[in-house]
Structure 1
Amino acid sequence: MVYPKGSKAGLEMNDKGKVRTNPSSTTVMYAYETQFVQWCGMFVHDDRCVQRIANIETSGSSNTLNDDQIIEALNLLPTAGGSGAARIYVNRTLKTQLDILAKDKNNVNYTSDNAFGVPVTRFRGVPVRLVEQIVNTESAIS
């Protein structure tokens, strides 16, 4: 983890003491309040290790996912996605599209494993992970 220059490293605790709260409209109670603050970030040693595919269309009846962009992004990785450490993170819409492609028996890029009884979608051997914080409503990047 990295911290902003001149800031405290680690977790900062601010004891606010006893404060008055209103848990409902008719009652008042006092509670002890403590605030925890931490400013930190992540550092990527080699920026080639992170690839992003933006502006993927998620609406429409046809499959809007472009396989070629995923292959290009994997091949831009230092080990071309073959180190075993590569992961693909997608939102629910794209995960659904990848799962539909994985069930197609004629497709050689998409597979679905059953690790511990839970299906794991893979693209060319790279696991695809669902991240709910990636949303469809982001502005397009020009």
Structure 2
Amino acid sequence: MTQPRRRSTLKIVLIILAIVIVVCCGGGAAGFYFLFTGVTKAPKAATSAFLDELEAGNYTAAYNRLCADTKSEFEQPTFEEKIKARQPKSHDLDWGGSYDNTNGRETAAITGNVTFTDGSSDNERFQLRKEGGDWKVCGNPLTLR
């Protein structure tokens, strides 16, 4: 009769072990999710603010959200002309993004769908860099070339 009791104890131990593993994996995944979305929260907000300015026709404010390298490629009148040719109307950014901090240089990439006034829409990838404490849009936003 002692044999069935051993099996019962082993079964209980295995069930408890399985529960502990599930809780640990779930907690780790949730922690990773919150950590990951936390580091992309500010770059995502900067991207959304940039697109909000473009959608409102506030080109000067949007231009000021560009990083120094991109401003050197596009003077403000050229930037405005290219944006007006394909004016964003609305946007929906994806939940995540990517973040990197290499040697103190913080960069991020945020993707989302941008709808234009002509009815077309594109999935865009925005490159950002932290400059002077602020996240700035870099690269070629909305394919300006």
Structure-1-length-normalised TM-score: 0.19
| Higher normalized helix content (fraction of residues) | 2
**Which structure would you say has the larger Rg?**
2
